[in-house]
Structure 1
């Protein structure tokens, strides 16, 4: 009842935004309403997690939909967990939108669609049949597509919207037959009937493949990620926060719902596939991010990396479950869901920080920023916390979930198959490499944007954003610390969603405090609380020692000027120069990066030029070839538009004869 009221409120807010679009501050009212609705949904999800336990949850049937169908809705432990994980960042984005929504290009095109986007994502979570799931999925896709297209005068936004629409249609095109196979010949479209159905081996494998393609395209899994770096920068920043931090989690929910709940008996081979694809996504995503100058594009590629980490854990959980290691399967699934929560938090924080920078300076290019920490201290401090969290630095939350994934990887070779025994170490190396590159990437992003001296007048005259936007960034920064310092509380809540799927209780070692010991009480333990207390004690001790034994004299010396005594801000490290060593090592192989220097001859007054060229191997190697093939087919089929009436009639006659032959053969 509460969820239904909140979702109805979101629909009503979208309608009110259309009717009241002439009011100057209507966006504040709409975003405040979205904030209330999402907070209500978070509260209802938490209440269900705490109170419901594992008792059977009935499905609510409503008499609407197609004429011969009814709509089924259900809130179980898994959907309640995602209800909290998705709506808490959505509430932050709504709060941010109160101060930011009036500054976006064409706010009248964004404000009505924002609550509808939230409605579609929540509809996916509570759907209990394929019809409601797919309708909500399409509602989510179309509303987010229109949000990407909100700045329709921008050519880049139009291109991003086109690519995103194609990938969204592809995802639905894959999910539709997946649910059709799960429904079987009887057409049992409810999830309860799909759980009870028995599928042949081939049909079951097709379901897994189609579900992986359909949800992977929405989550941004390599090589289905091409829309992310285009759509996220094109959308308004608070919408980008939802698309990157929240919508990708709806896709992961859909995959978990199909593979762990509706399908049920997925072989370890598919777990190995998920694990390998996740490792490739993690490594490629962070390499893409390292090469970017645009801050929002960098954050978009970072999402590819973190989605890859989640898929590694999901693949391990499938392999362990098929092998009978249910406790390890539960551990891997807890690690995946923990990273779902963490990524939703710190990626929302970072995109909101990027939006604050964009509003204050009008710039997204890192090489046109600098020195913002003095001018935007709240934004800078919260962005630093998000950067440390996504870099998996203790005692923040990103470290805990990645550490749990590594703990699961260490047990991967116990699966008795050579592919897992040899593949798991390779995946572990790829994930460790991705973690190291992620730290480098966000040292680069924070250092170039917030430290040093301003590189442009826009950065020099930047001012802190309004209070509502500061609070929207401070809250997730605080929770990044809380989820890292008190991880046992989070694992206890996630266990509620995991146990019905794996059908085993987590070991007592997982739920101990203050030490988190996922494997055993004597090995592989971690206590973020002790790390924080030890760090605080060392800091206080250092301050006391320096204060007691240090000198009080003030000594003044000229700063090191890097060999440039003149005041030239462009002599600072740039984003390109920071990434140059890694670009030369990895970019020349993966991205075919080439550096060109144009040096004029002596006596010429033209300046020297340095340029870097790179290609996207996925885009040029896969998608451009598909585009060429489609164009070639279209050119040949296009001649059918110019046939005579006689030839059209002949085509119809031949088609009818062919169909009759097919029917005759089937009847024999």
Structure 2
């Protein structure tokens, strides 16, 4: 039975973690632990693909956990999709870490937690009752927190861990409340019982908002994204890839499981909130990213952007489903799930690239890099493919899934509600702007990091990364290409999950036929033709330059604003590249301010320009909450010094109040 085999894989991962606890200090442990983890994840990937190809699995109950209740596990079509995402990302990260992990300063703080972290994420997807889901969810949060603070000698990393733990606790509390409302007074925590119990229309909005806050805080939707740009850069490179490319998708799974599966029908008005939150998250995420100099922080903010794109697709699927447009709902839901898979590929690839750069140079600041394409050419090529994919450039996978989301948005004219007919095109326009800004952002990221001249000694003396890391990067790069050229291979695998939750599915794609969103008579996408056209255009340009170019060799100084300057600091920086966009958008959204410090005449000191940005989420939400917590904590401080009689009295009064509430609860 495949569900039993999947649980055996998780037990193996936990066993690998235990082995790593005992051997992490040994130099040989890194390769053995990560190789074994990769094998376990590849086995889990095979199980998921087998289920997606038609092998349905019954639920499995184990006599552990809550007495007389146990823990329930199941692989349905939706779980199989996310099980494939988790294990594909886990296998790639493990292979990358075989080489990358040799450079880890404190392997005993990282090595044992990675396989356990992967096991926890798998168990979230496999869970078939609320208790198992929340227990696994909390284990996922705690293990990822341990990885975030693995380099605990840096104050910034400790702050990232503190904020992440606070947000994780908030998210778990929201999900716990959502499951409490879904379960009601029946007391049966299994997902089958929750589906049968249903939820009243009056409470459906409460559950959706709780699920959006609980899962969204882990996924990184605005304004619950505050932990993400702090925690992802703090973690090691392969862990950042797991958190950004995999863990955020487990959070999306939690939202989909609750809202699309357990809740039942959802009113169309609630879909407006999901679409609006997704659109705002996508736009602000890419604007945040454009302002960054830290390469890993830039990538973390782009995770926020892509999570917004996914939630726009999910919101459209909710809107179409509630309005009875099953085919349109199937298209929007397929596009969202396809982008889940695509983002896990190219974001893991980009974090692998940033990890290789950090290992080679010790730097994350783009203004201290440059010229790396000469010393790390293979890493540069892999990073460029990931940058093109996340920028939604054809024929790569980012374009394919975003194109499908736009095709779903074009079907909004068939909706009977004017609110949705206005909201969905507006959200599509926001996504189009986000895609353009993302392209500009990665022109900056790749250009400042890899092109030009080295801006520091560390960049000029960098060496290419190891073979295992390069293999993992190029494997994901190949995946980005195949998913863009032949997206039907992947959308066909998504059909069972889409059929399960929308009662419809996209037309079956037969290769090499083009991908048809609704029917062959509508707009279609043929990634193979686009790829051939791109290759043909490049060959024509190359041949034309070879045949018609002047063969006389000409040498001159590189153009540098009319004044050739040997100083590497005369090059464009990340800040100067983003300055026009910062002045247009950030001055309003982030209250960006520029201060120029010009030395007086005859002073040989360098002129400086300083830029300050303010996160509106911190100003409007987190700072007031922090101040309120400080005030309340000060007022409650005297309760720490009461006698035992007062404590017993407080406990008695609290118990009476809770029993009274329970007695009058309808």
Query: TM-score band, normalised by the shorter chain?
Result: over 0.9
User: Is there any run of 5+ residues in structure 1 with no aligned partner, and where?
Assistant: none
Inter-partner Cα distance in structure 2 for 1:297 and 1:542: 37
RMSD over equivalenced CA pairs, Å: 2.0
Superimposed CA distance per residue, residues 532-555 of structure 1 (whole angstroms, 9 cap, x where no aligned partner): 112222333344444444444333
Superimposed CA distance per residue, residues 26-69 of structure 1 (whole angstroms, 9 cap, x where no aligned partner): 121111111111111111111111132xx5x3101111112222
Inter-partner Cα distance in structure 2 for 1:657 and 1:381: 67
Contact residue 31 and residue 97 of structure 1 kept, 8 A? yes
Inter-partner Cα distance in structure 1 for 2:205 and 2:162: 31
1:42 and 2:45 correspond: yes
Query: 2:459: which partner in 1?
Result: 459
Cα displacement (A) at 1:652: 6.9
Query: 2:283: which partner in 1?
Result: 283
Cα displacement (A) at 1:7: 1.0
Q: How many residues align?
A: 662
Cα displacement (A) at 1:648: 6.1
Query: 1:618: which partner in 2?
Result: 617
Query: 1:151: which partner in 2?
Result: 151
Cα displacement (A) at 1:614: 1.1
Inter-partner Cα distance in structure 2 for 1:656 and 1:601: 71
Query: 1:6: which partner in 2?
Result: 9
Query: 2:25: which partner in 1?
Result: 22
Name the CA shift for 1:226/1:656 in 2 (closer, same or farther; >3 Å). closer
Inter-partner Cα distance in structure 2 for 1:254 and 1:658: 33
Query: 1:178: which partner in 2?
Result: 178
Superimposed CA distance per residue, residues 337-375 of structure 1 (whole angstroms, 9 cap, x where no aligned partner): 010010000000000000000000000000000000010
Superimposed CA distance per residue, residues 73-125 of structure 1 (whole angstroms, 9 cap, x where no aligned partner): 11111111111112112111101111111312311100000000000000011
| TM-score, structure 2 as length reference | 0.96
Write out aligned runs for 1:73-112 (5 A): 73-112=73-112
Query: 1:603: which partner in 2?
Result: 602
Name the CA shift for 1:205/1:537 in 2 (closer, same or farther; >3 Å). same
Contact residue 64 and residue 71 of structure 1 kept, 8 A? yes
Cα displacement (A) at 1:4: 2.1
Name the CA shift for 1:433/1:155 in 2 (closer, same or farther; >3 Å). same
Query: 2:304: which partner in 1?
Result: 304
Cα displacement (A) at 1:658: 6.8
SS at match of 1:238: helix
Name the CA shift for 1:236/1:656 in 2 (closer, same or farther; >3 Å). closer
Inter-partner Cα distance in structure 2 for 1:664 and 1:582: 56
Query: 2:493: which partner in 1?
Result: 493
Query: 1:188: which partner in 2?
Result: 188
Superimposed CA distance per residue, residues 125-156 of structure 1 (whole angstroms, 9 cap, x where no aligned partner): 11111111111111111000000011111111
1:594 and 2:593 correspond: yes
Name the CA shift for 1:213/1:471 in 2 (closer, same or farther; >3 Å). same
Superimposed CA distance per residue, residues 449-483 of structure 1 (whole angstroms, 9 cap, x where no aligned partner): 00000000000000001100110111001110110
Matching residue within 46, 51, 54 for 1:51: 54
Name the CA shift for 1:444/1:665 in 2 (closer, same or farther; >3 Å). closer
Contact residue 180 and residue 187 of structure 1 kept, 8 A? no
SS at match of 1:584: helix
Inter-partner Cα distance in structure 1 for 2:111 and 2:470: 20
Name the CA shift for 1:20/1:650 in 2 (closer, same or farther; >3 Å). closer
Superimposed CA distance per residue, residues 137-190 of structure 1 (whole angstroms, 9 cap, x where no aligned partner): 111110000000111111111100000001111111011121122222111111
Moved more, 481-490 or 359-368: 481-490
Write out aligned runs for 1:38-437 (5 A): 38-52=41-55, 57-437=57-437
Superimposed CA distance per residue, residues 411-457 of structure 1 (whole angstroms, 9 cap, x where no aligned partner): 12322112112212211111111000000000000000000000000
Name the CA shift for 1:664/1:328 in 2 (closer, same or farther; >3 Å). closer
Inter-partner Cα distance in structure 1 for 2:7 and 2:425: 47
User: Is there any run of 5+ residues in structure 2 with no aligned partner, and where?
Assistant: none
Contact residue 360 and residue 465 of structure 2 kept, 8 A? yes
Query: 2:579: which partner in 1?
Result: 580
Name the CA shift for 1:464/1:531 in 2 (closer, same or farther; >3 Å). same
Contact residue 86 and residue 118 of structure 2 kept, 8 A? no
Query: 1:561: which partner in 2?
Result: 560
